[in-house]
Chains A and B, each alone.
Chain A
Amino acid sequence: MVEMTRRKLLGTAAAGVAASALVGVPALAATRIRHYWWGNPERDKRTFAVIDLFQKANPGIEVSGETIGWGDYWTKMATQTAGRNMADLVQMDYRYLFEYVRRGALKPLDEYIGKSLMIQDFDKGPIDGGRVDGKLYALNIGANSQVMVYNTRVFQEAGVDADLINWTWDDFAKACEKISAKSGGKVKGADDLALMIEVFESWVRQNGREFYDANGKVAATVDDVATFWQFWADLRKKDVVRSKDKTVILDVPIAESGIAVGDTAMSQFWSNQLVGIQAVSKDKIGAAMVPHKAGGKPGQYIKPSMFMSLSRDVKDPASAIAYMNAWVNDPAITKVLGLERGIPVSQKIRDQLAPGLSEVEKLSINYFTAIQNKVGGLPLPAPKGAGEVRDAFMRTGSDVVLARTSVKDAAASFIDDAQAIIDRAQ
């Protein structure tokens, strides 16, 4: 008797589940698209607001947003790609673009341009940054460049009067000394950037080479690495950069950088991060260029900070492209997005945004204007394995920072490792 009742109960429950599942299907909107991006709290807030706006304007389309930090973004993306379950629209980075296109994970956008994707009047250079083998696989949703963020109060107090757009590494070192001396060592001149391959890349280009040549070989030399690490070792010895304990913690969040904590007066970032850094810094920040080599070539460059791409697994391309088009053209949407992902590459949108900009947004636009003629060309996309080379740079560099190995040995072993990593990745 008890058994019967239990079985009956189970049966009823199962039927209930089945029924609710059936009811659930037609309740879904006609079309659903998934948008996946890496973010931070500020970016997520803005993006979800955009999704709301878009859904109100397009009742037939439901957009589901998926967001995660940069650190886990590519892991999740690779897993979803392997499982043939990519989001319809994915945020893409210049570093990974070629890799994903070559693996066949993205769809070209050319057939939609001028029909449902109105980007004909966008800046040509930045748009072409999303081309692979002549086809457009990625839509630029913001441009950025390297920036040396500085604390304006500390700079003023220490009397640093260098021209922060045209300054040299020598000026930079002197500024570090001045700042540390003025504060009695409490505020160091800058973060120790010896582990940042992004800064090293500028260093190499200033010496007249690219990090990777056109064949994907490592073109940076042992001497490039050794002089770079020696430059920072000298500053470390003078005790005018951040302590080594904080330096060997890799890829710290913005809020733990020297400038946010107040340990140092300068940290290195990408220009679209200015808004985020100001949000976590007590003092007003300023934007300087990566220092130049006296008599050298331009090292810094302007790059697409982020792209939006159409994935191979897209279900309804028409709706996905409609969303993409609204992202870069709809005035209400571009207003919400602002400059958070980088400077928009449409002059029309930039003009629309200009009157309503906040102080830090103005800073980033002005910085962008100031550097236009000081930067070099966009380097070729890095070969497969470049992400791992970045890790190796930090790892070998850590040994130098901790004085466990000599600069010369470390530089030689890094160049060997880098080429081996690239060879293995092909």
Chain B
Amino acid sequence: MNRFIARNGPAYAFLLPWFLGFFLLALGPILASLYLSFTRYDMVAEPRWVGFDNYVYMFTRDRRFWKALNVTFTYVALAVPARLIMALVVAMLLDKGLRTIGVYRAIFYLPSLLGSSIAIAILWRQLFAADGVVNRVLADFGIPSHAWITDPNTSIYTLVLLAMWQFGSPMLIFLAGLRSIPRDLYEAAEIDGTPKWRQFLRITLPLLAPVIFFNLVLQTIEAFKTFSSAFIISNGSGAPADSLLFYTVYLFNEAFKFFRMGYASALAWVLLIIIAVFTGIAFLTSKYWVHYENERD
């Protein structure tokens, strides 16, 4: 017991604020939403128990639910790898022992601080608008202009691009991971005449695996929860033609536009389960591809 406290005490001490917040503020509403997901609740009249009706309707009759899943999965599949690759590339460029690294780190991190803000989403919408900056620049190169956001075939890519641009936080973590790889491994490889790309595949990637894993899980969860940028860029509706109907945007509209709080709660629980499943898969498969340095066999 004493050993447990000695080992884990500080960790729990640091977790305490989170625990307090969770138990005092979050747990009640979470449980309430579980209850509400089995009711019909328009936020004015009392909730009415309907059993599994919400869930049955969702899976059997709600076409927009499937549409929202489709949009969200597409986004996760594109945005997470795009952001991680971007983050890793920039981290490796910065990992050169520059003296001014702090400055660069801050500069590259900036978009992530700004990125989730409403202002950037509005800016993004204007950049990619039919008469926006992007089209004007493309026109200079003789490329015909395109309505990026209002064309349902391209609208989602503008959001993937936005996600990619916010590579700051995984980049910082990658950078720390790269720093912890012993230099002598590279030196040895250098002496053996191993080409750079091989060093990357055989040294950097395997030793970075735990950090990649961590970033992957975190960014996947983050991507499933994308809301504000999609909400702003689609004018709150998931338009054009539902091509930006992110799960969270659909959920918000069900809850606060059509006042189906019970149904929206059910949607929220399904999202939670989806995220849990994906995280679970990541953890289960991790033992095949993630190698921890201090692992004892």
Contact surface of A with B, Cβ cutoff 8 Å: 71, 74-75, 78-79, 81-82, 100, 103-105, 243-246, 248-251, 385, 387-388, 391, 394-395, 398-399, 402, 404, 425
Contacts and interface: CB of A to CB of B under 8 A. Distances in A.
7 closest cross-chain pairs (CB), A and B: A82-B43, A245-B147, A103-B44, A75-B256, A245-B150, A248-B240, A245-B130
Given A250-B235, A402-B152, A79 B256 contact: yes
B152 A395 contact: no
A149 B223 CA distance: 43
Given A78-B256, A245-B150, A398 B43 contact: no
A246 B235 CA distance: 13
Contacts of A79: 43, 256
Contacts of B241: 248, 395, 398-399, 402, 404
Contact of A71 (B147, B236, B261): B236
A425 B235 CA distance: 24
Contacts of B256: 75, 78-79
Contacts of A246: 130, 150
B45 A103 contact: yes
Nearest to B41: A82
A395 B43 contact: no
B45 A249 contact: no
Main secondary structure of the interface of B (DSSP, over half): loop
Nearest to B63: A417
Contact of B150 (A71, A104, A248, A399): A248
Nearest to B252: A75
Nearest to B150: A245
A251 B150 contact: no
A402 B44 contact: no
Interface string B147-158: 100111000000
Given A78-B259, A243-B130, A246-B130, A395 B236 contact: no
Given A103-B44, A245-B147, A398 B235 contact: no
Contacts, number: 66
A385 B57 CA distance: 17
Contacts of A385: 258
B147 A81 contact: no
Contact of A82 (B44, B130, B150, B152): B44
A398 B152 CA distance: 10
Contacts of B151: 245, 402
A398 B239 contact: yes
Contacts of B130: 243, 245-246
Which of B45, B237, B240, B261 counts the most A-chain CB atoms under 10 A from its CB?
A: B240
B215 to A, nearest CB: 35
28 contacts: A71-B236, A74-B257, A75-B256, A78-B42, A78-B44, A81-B44, A82-B44, A100-B44, A103-B42, A104-B45, A105-B44, A245-B130, A245-B147, A245-B151, A246-B150, A248-B150, A248-B239, A249-B239, A249-B240, A250-B239, A387-B258, A388-B257, A395-B239, A395-B241, A398-B239, A398-B240, A399-B241, A404-B152
A251 B257 CA distance: 15
Contacts of A100: 44
A100 B261 CA distance: 16
Contacts of A394: 237, 239
Contact of A81 (B43, B152, B236, B239): B43
Contacts of A250: 235, 237, 239
A249 B235 contact: yes
Given A78-B256, A244-B150, A404-B152, 9 more contacts: A78-B43, A79-B43, A103-B44, A245-B151, A246-B130, A249-B240, A387-B258, A395-B242, A402-B240
Which of A244, A249, A391 counts the most B-chain CB atoms under 10 A from its CB?
A: A249
Contact of A251 (B42, B147, B235): B235
A250 B236 CA distance: 9
Contacts of B239: 248-250, 394-395, 398
B44 A391 contact: no
Interface in B216-249: 235-237, 239-242
A246 B130 CA distance: 8
Interface string B69-95: 000000000000000000000000000
Contacts of A251: 235, 237
A402 B241 CA distance: 9
Contacts of B43: 78-79, 81-82
Nearest to B256: A75
A394 B257 CA distance: 15
